[in-house]
Chain A
Amino acid sequence: MQDTKKAARAWARQQTRQGWRDAMPVAGLGLLGTIAAVTQAFCLAAWLAAALTHTAFPWAALGAFAALATVRAALQVAADRRAFTAGATGRARLRADIMARLLAAGPSLLRTRHSAELASAAVDQVEAMDGLYARWIPASMLAIAGPLLVAIVAGIADRWAAAILLLAGLLVPFGQAIAGIGAAAASRGQFLALARLQARFLDRVRGIATIVLAGRAEDEALSLARAADELRRRTMRVLRVAFLSSAMLDCAMAAALIGLALHYRHALLGHGGSPFTALFALLLVPEFFAPLRAFAAAYQDRLHATGAAEALVDVPAMPTAPATKAAIRTVEAHGVSVAFQGVKLTWDASRGPALDGLSFVVPAGEVLVLAGPSGAGKSTVIELLLGFVRPDEGRILLNGADIADIVPQALSQLTAWIGQKPTLFAGTILDNIRFARPGATAAEVQEAARQARVTDFATLLPAGLLTQIGEGGHGLSGGQAQRVAIARAFLKNAPLLLLDEPTSHLDPATEAEVLASLRRLAVGRTVIMAAHSAAAHAFGGRRLDLRNGKAILARGVA
């Protein structure tokens, strides 16, 4: 856990560096705004000093004040726009980075992580980083430059004013260091506990049906109330200290105002102080502290981003690109032959090897059924052939070429794959079939739908093949979804067909229909099918029984 946090913080730091350049214009515009505000303070002091000393009112100063007000408003709009752009650029860069890493890591990720959790990292957690780029980074730049600029101007008017401002300004980091060390340590320690308690509510709402159907809703409501009470107690304990460090800011500003007011009262009472300087110095106080306030307000954004970064840092790192040699060429008419030679693969060392020196041969155009219980290595064979993972030892040959030498694009052109439950994307049925080959003509897509018998059930749907399916669309039954997957395979027309328990979720009648479609699809292709149901074993062809990653019974695959 400690390592995760350390990594998250290092990663957030790196993201901060990248966001630095995007934030430059925001900070620059902010600084221009401070210059305009300081000039306004100058005009205002001149005007008020004239009123107090009964000299002629400097109307030009008032005009300049009004003009500068408009300039400040324009600068603020520009700064807000640039801040948004900085945030959007940062998020887009981050999201592209995360998605590239997830796509590179590939399907083996889904063995250990839930796709919803990964999607939430790529969408929600990246959105939560917005405040870091749009507010925290520019604010932290301005927090030093802004007050410094104001202090320099004050110093030109009066050294004492600058000294008082800087002293009060130093009170902020100094006071925050004293009050803040405790607060920071406490808040870091409590952060995980808080996150857990917060997650508890979310989790209980997600599982609310289970709670209600167990007749435990009231018990759970009471325990939520207790947990919320504990959350409040813990949070307030942290906040009591954390607010002390916010109080330092109020303290510094009050000290500056009181210090300056009393200093100039003394000066004006017969030590030759100028009323203009006095008013100018006092009017600079709010401008001196405004960037520090913005900085304190943006601290929330940073905390948010650190929380999000902890979820993002879990995303696997970009794998180094494998050295690819020449891509093999295949002639579709001749099909693809497959050979495993002493293939070993271990997913998880504590659970032993998934494949333990497996060897077999499937000539082009033949069917091989892989049988055996769960964990025997059937799916691993399929995933190796898809290039999702690489063997630890041994070789896999396609038409005599080592699979490791085939570039991923060429490999994906060779193979079509149908799994246990196809993923249907949000879109029409036609879109979902076309996914297999985006360049296909409308006629080809229609033909694939017909061959896979998608057309049979689609005519009963509200919009036929143009019915929206997937998230937020019409739900298809397991058998119908599998037909869409078969249509994809027809459209792709690849010489090697990999089937991973394609009927395990279907009732016997639907299973028979889907198998009939698969048999049509299998004609003229090399087929490797992992299966455990009896009907699937009647698919015909060669058969290989696996147990614990080894072949125990082979029929025609020696």
Chain B
Amino acid sequence: MRPLFRVLYLWRHRAPGLLAGIAVALASVAAGLALMALSGTIVAAVLVGAAIAAPLWLRIAGPARIVLRYVERLVSHGATFRAIADLRVWFFRGFSARAAGGLGFRPAGDLLSRLIADIEALDGLYLRIILPLAAALFVVPAAALLAARVSVWSGAAVFLLFAAVAVLLPLLVARDAGRTGVGLAEAAGGLRIAALDTLTGLREVRAFGAEARMQAEIARRESALIGRQREAAIHVAWANAAALLCGQFALLAVLAATSAPPVLMVACAFLVIAAFEPMALLPRAGVSAGNAAAAAARVLEVAEATPPMPEPLRPIRVPASFTLRFEDVQFRWAADAPKVFDGLSLDIPQGAHVALLGPSGAGKSTLAALALKVAAPQAGRVTLGGVDLSATAANDVRRRIAWLSQTTHIFDDSIRNNLLLGRPDATDADLWRALDRAAIGDWVGALPEQLETWLGEGGARVSGGQGRRIALARALLSEAPILILDEPCAGLDAETERAFFTTLNSAAIGRSVLLIAHRLTGAEKLDRIWRLSNGTAIAAAA
């Protein structure tokens, strides 16, 4: 539960709105209870000839209930939207300052999907967990106190039974949800992998005639998932039934006080019936609480991890000159991982176009990670314009290095907004110039919506080559004097690849270019070629 309290602490600035929501919710519950109890009391009071003001109160409680409920919904939803937005921005900031940069160097689809699902699991924290719980914590003593006026025993029974519904059952269900959650996530992951395997491998599946086999495998994974879900659903069903029984026996406890004043008994019976209604939701809230607690723990772990590269207290500004130099660098990704670089020294002089070649796994991309301050060397140093990167601010470095790789994301947004990421203050003329230099200006110009064309999720609405060119235009638009292109043409055919490099040769004049590749096409114009092998770089003829 501690992670949940940590999330609540993040919301401390939203306390007035959130507390107001709770206050209105309590008032609305009170009005609801009064409405039901008073309508019973009116009928009862007539019979025993008591003169009461109940009809007047009833006429107040009815409209009050309606208005308060409406206000409650508005206030609590408004507050929850603000709280959710805060949480998301906080997560984005925390994550981006920590491990996020490293994701550019490895596929992280599954990790990100899980994190997004976790953030969404926290959306219901206030509306579906805290509000019903607050209402229950108000209803339990209120109902118990009134029942105690019928008889002490009734009061005690109502208190215990309602407390079981409000506290014990949700806790049990939350614990159960936490326990079964792991298995559920695994089963869901199994199904997702089976579906993704089949669909990614549609060519293999068709070529090997494996349709029936794959569909059977998906069905098998699905029934494993459904089996686990059924188990969890049955636990919740029992909890719901137990809650219902508790409510009913609380009512019996009131009825059994046969020596109580009859009007009081009627009022109390009606109140207990009305009071149970908001509490019936609590076992389900327990499930949400269990899931939310697990989700909060994972989200906090990511957003509050120790940054892999702490920023220097007084960062030195990177000078205007931009020679990038690696000096006797030793690096491994983890203490138990093999060394990637063992005494690597190379430099990319200001304005030079340099290629770095080597087989896969030789550490080509790691070099880019070091230059972008995603990782730091264990020994040796990396300097930009003569300043050690460890003494500079990461953003300062990254604004001077534009990076383009296969994992460069095309955002589900317009072409304009995709480009503006490179330079937010760019004018339309700048955008078109960048597009022209990336040799895609004509294509964009022929689109009906031009710069406003929506690119779709992950650039799904453009071909691979076009997506890469838009990413190149974004890199060219930025004022960064250094371009690092990490296998920019992977997945493109030879013709497109040659055209891309021909474009690059002219587009990047005046900037340094570090081209990372496993082989050259012959279209590149290079000042120098480095080959990586055995953790060091060897200069080769250009």
Instruction: Enumerate chain A interface residues (CB-CB to B < 8 A).
Output: 44, 47-48, 51-54, 57, 62, 65-66, 69-70, 72-74, 76-77, 80-81, 84-85, 88, 91-92, 95-96, 99-100, 102-103, 106-107, 109-110, 113-119, 122-124, 127, 199-221, 224-225, 228-229, 231-232, 235-236, 239-240, 243-244, 246-247, 250-251, 254-255, 257-258, 260-262, 264-265, 268-269, 275, 278-279, 282-283, 285-286, 373-375, 386-388, 408-409, 412-413, 415-417, 419, 422-423, 425-426, 435-436, 438, 470-472, 477-479, 488, 492, 498, 501, 504-510, 532-533
Asked if B103 and A215 make an inter-chain contact with CB atoms under 8 angstroms apart, the answer reads no
Instruction: Give, as a whole number of angstroms, the nearest-CB distance from A202 to chain B.
Output: 5
Q: A258 contacts which of B39, B97, B105, B191 (Cβ < 8 Å)?
A: B39
| A residues near B176, Cβ cutoff 8 Å | none
- Do most interface residues of chain A lie in helix, strand or loop, or is the interface mixed? helix
A127 to B258, CA, bound (A): 51
Q: How far is the CA of A210 from the CA of B496 in the complex (A)?
A: 23
Q: Is residue B47 contacting chain A, with contact meaning CB distance below 8 A?
A: yes
List 16 other contacts, CB 8 Å, given A214-B398, A254-B61, A258-B58. Answer: A44-B251, A52-B266, A103-B211, A106-B202, A106-B206, A206-B112, A210-B104, A210-B421, A217-B92, A217-B96, A239-B74, A261-B43, A286-B277, A387-B206, A417-B207, A507-B518
**A492 partner residues in chain B, CB cutoff 8 A:** 208
A221 touches B266 (CB 8 A): no
- Whether B185 is near chain A, meaning CB under 8 Å from some CB there, is no
Q: A374-B495, A435-B204 are in contact. Are A115 and B196 (CB under 8 A)?
A: yes
Q: Does B16 contact A (CB under 8 A)?
A: no
Alpha-carbon separation in the docked complex, A373 to B145 (Å): 85
CA distance A215 to B270 in the complex (A): 62
| Cβ-defined partner of B206 (8 Å) among A51, A388, A422 | A388
Residues B70-99 near A (CB distance < 8 A): 70, 73-74, 77-78, 81-82, 84-85, 88-89, 92-93, 95-97
Q: List 27 A-B contacts (CB under 8 A).
A: A52-B48, A52-B266, A62-B256, A73-B245, A76-B244, A77-B240, A91-B222, A99-B198, A103-B202, A114-B457, A116-B109, A116-B196, A119-B200, A209-B101, A210-B407, A210-B409, A212-B398, A214-B398, A214-B422, A219-B424, A220-B92, A246-B70, A247-B69, A374-B493, A423-B203, A426-B193, A504-B494
Contact of A471 among B73, B193, B407, B518 (CB under 8 A): B193
A200/B96 contact (C-beta < 8 A), A254-B35, A257-B35, A282-B270 known:
no
Inter-chain contacts of B205 with A (CB < 8 A): 103
Task: Rank and list the top 8 A-B pairs by shortest CB-CB distance, nearest first.
Answer: A207-B409, A374-B493, A228-B85, A423-B201, A412-B209, A80-B237, A215-B398, A209-B104
Among B213-221, B336-344, B383-391, the stretch in contact with A = B213-221
B409 touches A103 (CB 8 A): no
CB-defined contacts of B322 to chain A, threshold 8 Å: none
Contact residues in B for A246 (Cβ distance below 8 Å): 69-70, 73
Q: In whole Å, how far is A410's beta carbon from the nearest beta carbon of chain B?
A: 9
Give Cα A54–Cα B263 distance, bound, in whole angstroms. Answer: 12
Interface residue? B229 (CB, 8 A): yes
CB-CB < 8 A to A70: which residues of B? 245
Does B411 have its Cβ within 8 Å of any Cβ on chain A? yes
A123 to B191, Cβ gap below 8 A?
A: yes
Let me know if B39 and A260 touch, CB within 8 A: yes
B493 touches A88 (CB 8 A): no
B252 in the interface (beta carbon within 8 A):
yes
B421 touches A211 (CB 8 A): yes
B372, closest chain A residue (CB): A213
Question: Are B197 and A247 in contact (CB-based, < 8 A)?
Answer: no
Pair A477/B360 contact, Cβ less than 8 Å: yes
Is B81 touching A236 in the complex (CB atoms < 8 A)?
A: yes
Residue contact A374 to B496, C-beta cutoff 8 Å:
yes
Flag if B62 contacts A51 (CB, 8 Å).
no
Q: Of all chain A residues, which has the CB nearest B471?
A: A210
Of chain B, the residue at the smallest CB distance from A289 is: B277
Report how far A438 CA is from B194 CA in the complex, Å: 17
| Contact A57 to B258, CB < 8 A, known contacts A203-B411, A412-B207 | yes
Whether the pair B202, A255 counts as a contact (CB closer than 8 A) is no
Task: Say whether B412 contacts A200, CB under 8 Å.
Answer: yes
Cβ of A2 to closest chain B Cβ, rounded Å? 17
Q: Is A215 a contact partner of B399 (Cβ separation < 8 A)?
A: yes
A115 and B218 contacting across the interface, CB-CB below 8 Å: no
Chain B, residue nearest A41 (CB): B273
A305 to B277, CA, bound (A): 27
Contact A212 B213 (CB under 8 A): no
Does the CB pair B203–A417 fall under 8 Å? yes
1/0 contact trace for B481-493 toward A, CB 8 Å?
A: 0000000001111
Q: A70-B245, A219-B424 are in contact. Are A123 and B62 (CB under 8 A)?
A: no
Contact yes or no, A286 B203, CB < 8 A: no
Distance of B24 from chain A, by nearest CB (Å):
13
Pick from A113, A212, A254, A422: contact of B62, CB below 8 A: A254
Tell me the bound Cα distance from A156 to B285 in angstroms.
39
A262 touches B207 (CB 8 A): no
Question: Contacts A214-B403, A243-B73, A257-B36; is A504 near B493 (CB within 8 Å)?
Answer: yes
How far apart are B303's CB and chain A's nearest CB, in angstroms?
11
In the complex, what residues of B have CB within 8 A of residue A409's CB?
A: 209
Q: Taking the complex as formed, is B507 at the interface, i.e. its CB lies under 8 A from any CB of chain A?
A: no
* Contact status A286-B274, CB under 8 Å: yes
B218 contacts A435, C-beta separation under 8 Å: no
Residues of A within 8 A of B256 (CB): 62
A residues less than 8 Å from B496 (CB atoms): 374
Q: Contacts A52-B48, A110-B203, A219-B424: A92 and B266 contacting too (C-beta < 8 A)?
A: no
Which residue in chain B gives the minimum CB-CB distance to A297?
B281
Contacts A213-B403, A532-B494; A269 near B203 (Cβ below 8 A) = no
CB distance from B198 to the nearest CB of A (A): 7
Query: Which residue of chain B has its CB nearest to the CB of A85?
Result: B230
Given contacts A115-B202, A119-B192, contact A212 B255 (CB under 8 A): no
Give the CA-CA distance A505 to B519 in the complex, in Å. Answer: 10
Find out whether the CB atom of A205 lies under 8 angstroms from the CB atom of B195.
no
B73–A77 contact, CB under 8 A?
Answer: no
Q: Contacts A119-B196, A386-B207 known; A66 to B252 CB distance under 8 Å? A: yes
Which B residues touch A269, using CB under 8 A? 46
Write the nearest CB–CB distance from B333 to chain A, whole angstroms: 14
Distance A278 CA – B277 CA, assembled complex (angstroms): 22
Nearest chain B residue, comparing its CB with the CB of A233: B81
Q: Do B195 and A279 touch across chains, with their CB atoms under 8 A apart?
A: no
Q: How far is the CA of A93 from the CA of B192 in the complex (A)?
A: 17
Contact: A478 with B73, CB < 8 Å? Answer: no
CB distance B258 to A51 under 8 Å? yes
Residues A107 and B258 in contact, CB atoms below 8 Å apart: no
Tell me which of B74, B85, B103 has the highest count of chain A C-beta atoms within 10 A of its own C-beta: B85
- A99-B215, A212-B100 known; A232-B73 Cβ under 8 A: no
Choose one: B207, B218, B266; the contact of A415 (CB below 8 Å). Answer: B207
Q: Which residues of B contact A117 (CB under 8 A)?
A: 457, 460
B413 at the interface (CB under 8 A from A): yes
* Chain A neighbourhood of B277, CB < 8 A: 286
**Pairwise interchain contact A388-B203, C-beta atoms closer than 8 A:** yes
Please provide the chain B residues from 471 to 487 with a CB less than 8 Å away from any CB of chain A in the complex. 478
In the complex, residue of chain A having the shortest beta-carbon distance to the beta carbon of B399: A215
Shortest Cβ gap from A270 to chain B (Å): 10
CB distance from A108 to the nearest CB of B (A): 9
Known: A275-B43, A532-B493. A423 touches B116 (CB 8 A): no
B115 at the interface (CB under 8 A from A): yes
In B235-258, which residues have CB < 8 Å from any A CB?
236-238, 240-242, 244-245, 248-249, 251-252, 255-256, 258
Nearest CB in chain A: distance from B12 CB, A? 17
Chain B positions within 8 Å of A477 at CB level:
360-361
Min CB gap A396→B, angstroms: 16
Query: Which of B70, B201, B252 touches A65 (beta carbons < 8 Å)?
Result: B252
C-alpha spacing A260/B62, complex, angstroms: 13
B202 touches A425 (CB 8 A): no
- Closest B residue to A262 using CB positions: B55
CB distance A510 to B237 under 8 Å?
Answer: no
- Smallest CB separation, A235 vs chain B (Å): 6
